[in-house]
Structure 1
Amino acid sequence: MASAYKIHLTVNDTGIVPNKPQTDEAAFKISELLQENHDKHHAYWGRIGFHNHIVHHLLTLYGVGAPASIIEQRYKENAPDMRPVMDKDDIPIENLYNLETFNKCLGIEKYYHSFLLFFQKEMEEKGWEKVLQEYVFAGDERADDLMGRLYDGFLHPLIHLGFGIEFNQPVIMCEGLAQAATHWNWTGKFLQSAEEAAKSNPNPTSKSMVELHDEIYADKKLSTAADWNDDNKVRDGILVRAPGEMMRIARQWIVTPENLEQKTAEMINSVIYFTAAAQRPPKQIRFDFYFMHCLNASIFFPTLNKLSWLSTANKVRLLQWKGHLDLAMYASRRSPPLLLEEIATYVPAKLERGDAEWPGIFRRLEEFKDDGHAIKLGRAVRNGELVAGKYGDVEWERIKGFMWEKIGNMVIDSVEDEGVTWVRSAGFDEAWVDYKDRPRQTSI
């Protein structure tokens, strides 16, 4: 049985995107390898900001039905690059029960292991639900601070925690909380300010994300606020050169208990839209590395919405913060034009033997050697089809029908293509200089 110290997956712990059933052999192998990763490897493979993706990669493979042999092969390819876990704690975990000490250690990477052991101890004694309620969702200053840190680092702590919740693994939840505790809190400060701005909006009727994308694109001060040389294009670009303009946009996207389910679908559809449509013809099809993290994080919100112990108010808050960060992320890459025709007219590279249908797409993604970003992207797109594809013809629905599977093909075709795998900051001319022009396509 899974606990705060032991990883244990069964054939029923396969997540929310069905593809192929799992086997006892694969369940045993992934449990063994994720436990080894937990025991031997640090959460960061370099300094903070460079994350160990083994958990994300293996669970995604397992979730789409990859066999034990593939799961083990991908682990062996990535494990040698990982940083060893600390062999000692920088602070006794008992000291973290003191709120002043807890706060002083936040945002400092060397305390990751101490925070990890602290949350494991708490979770073993109280259960994971009560720990998340107390440390993330209590609504007090400490919880709000930690919740904000979940969204930092291009959403990596939230993604890690989300995998733990989706696959019922408390150990992985503890890793996600410890990651959050050692990330920065500037993201949370922005999100809390955006939340307050949305509450003060005299017009409580929310605009759609796609309407706000258009407003960002049309606002030249906001859409050009980030500079290519900014170390962090949200923090050092958008929030320095156009903070008022960004807040004006954010305050117009409002989630309520009544529209929570539909706004979840809207967020998922819109993030897939701006990630897939941010292309630069005639350059090769590529996905923006930073937008991709917004998309990969979107997969967990239907699971969060189903948690019976989590209040509706907190579900609303989680989603609204995600939407506000997505809007800031779109602006931060110089707001690339969103070319829906690039999706609608896309011709998959492999149309034979079912390679262009979802089972074939996932098989090809299983075979692709990387750190897991590609298959996470493919699974998140398929989740979008399952969650957001049921709404029919609504104003915010940009991705619909055949487009879902076409985007799945764009994902696998782009990473199988020659050259650099991801484009970084798709709205900048500088980001595309290393990519070749592609042959002209014909619509199918």
Structure 2
Amino acid sequence: MAAAGTLEQLLPRTIHKAPLSLPGATPASRALVEELLERDRATHHCFFNAIGFHNHLSHHLLAAYDLGASPALLQAAYDEELKEQNDVFVADREKGTVERQKEVLTRENWREYLGQDKYYANYVLFFSEEVKRLGAHAAFEEYVFSEQANAHGACMTERFVAGALHPFIQMGYAIEFNSPAMVAQGPSVRPA
């Protein structure tokens, strides 16, 4: 496990364009969207603003990329949405308090912090490590659909379809673009 707790580059940041996407995306736009997705994952919380709307930055970037957006347009989209994002370590959205939580989530204790937004970064790190260890498909099955994932009040399948289906949408993008890093974010985006 990555005890240091860094969210960057734990999993490959590569994406793979779907065969039925529109023409126009270039190697430069792909490289930029991969970089921007990694930056979003490493620096922004799944909720933006004090109310706690879901961060759709990655979805916006991938949709624009898939429609053939230029690197300049991708960067402009990122820069515009950046203005509203919460820090990945936000501890209190209403007060804007940023504080890195020191708890290390493990296969034994990961259920203990469910429902607490301030542990979002810890969950992304934990699920990234599990995707790396098990593979994307097996980690998703184990932490969302298994009996153990839904026992003891964890209710991960319910959490997965909660929050206006945001985790489900996140996973859809992860599957469409074959992105293990986005798979790790799927179960993390609805900790409440």
TM over 0.5: yes
Letter in 2 for 1:163: Y
Pick 1 or 2: higher relative contact order, CA cutoff 8 A, min separation 6: 2
Indicate how the Cα distance of structure 1 residues 34 and 155 shifts in structure 2: closer, same or farther if over 3 A, else same.
Answer: same
Q: Give 5+ residue unaligned stretches, structure 1.
A: 184-444
TM-score under structure 1 length normalisation? 0.36
CA distance in 2, matches of 1:147, 1:48: 24
Post-superposition offset of 1:5: 2.6
Identity %: 28
Matched, 1:62 2:86: no
- SS state of the match for residue 110, structure 2? helix
Q: Is the 8 A contact 1:163 1:172 kept in 2?
A: yes
- SS state of the match for residue 88, structure 2? coil
- SS state of the match for residue 145, structure 2? coil
Post-superposition offset of 1:56: 0.5
Q: Give 5+ residue unaligned stretches, structure 2.
A: 1-8, 90-98
CA distance in 2, matches of 1:48, 1:177: 20
Q: 1:152 aligns with which of 162, 165, 172?
A: 162
Indicate how the Cα distance of structure 1 residues 153 and 16 shifts in structure 2: closer, same or farther if over 3 A, else same.
Answer: farther
CA distance in 2, matches of 1:135, 1:88: 24
Post-superposition offset of 1:17: 4.6
> Which residue number in structure 1 is paired with residue 149 of structure 2?
142
Indicate how the Cα distance of structure 1 residues 73 and 59 shifts in structure 2: closer, same or farther if over 3 A, else same.
Answer: same
The structure with the larger Rg is: 1
CA distance in 2, matches of 1:177, 1:80: 25
Letter in 1 for 2:78: Y
Q: 2:45 aligns with which of 42, 45, 53?
A: 42
CA distance in 1, matches of 2:21, 2:79: 26
Q: Which has the higher strand share?
A: 2
Q: 1:111 aligns with which of 101, 119, 122?
A: 119
Matched, 1:79 2:85: no
> Which residue number in structure 2 is paired with residue 102 of structure 1?
110
1:279-428 aligned at under 5 Å gives the runs none
Post-superposition offset of 1:136: 1.8
Cα shift readout 1:16-47 (whole Å, capped 9, x = no counterpart) = 65322421011111011111112222221135
Q: Is the 8 A contact 2:144 2:160 kept in 1?
A: no
Letter in 1 for 2:184: C
CA distance in 2, matches of 1:56, 1:142: 26
Q: 2:104 aligns with which of 71, 79, 92?
A: 92
- SS state of the match for residue 92, structure 1? coil
Q: Is the 8 A contact 2:142 2:149 kept in 1?
A: no
Residues paired across the two proteins, number: 172
CA distance in 1, matches of 2:125, 2:58: 18
Matched, 1:14 2:22: no
Q: Is the 8 A contact 1:26 1:67 kept in 2?
A: yes
Letter in 2 for 1:6: P
Letter in 1 for 2:13: I
Indicate how the Cα distance of structure 1 residues 127 and 47 shifts in structure 2: closer, same or farther if over 3 A, else same.
Answer: farther
Q: 1:5 aligns with which of 11, 28, 31?
A: 11
RMSD: 2.1
Letter in 1 for 2:86: R
Q: Which moved more, 1:72-81 or 1:41-50?
A: 41-50
Letter in 1 for 2:187: L
Q: Which has the higher helix share?
A: 1
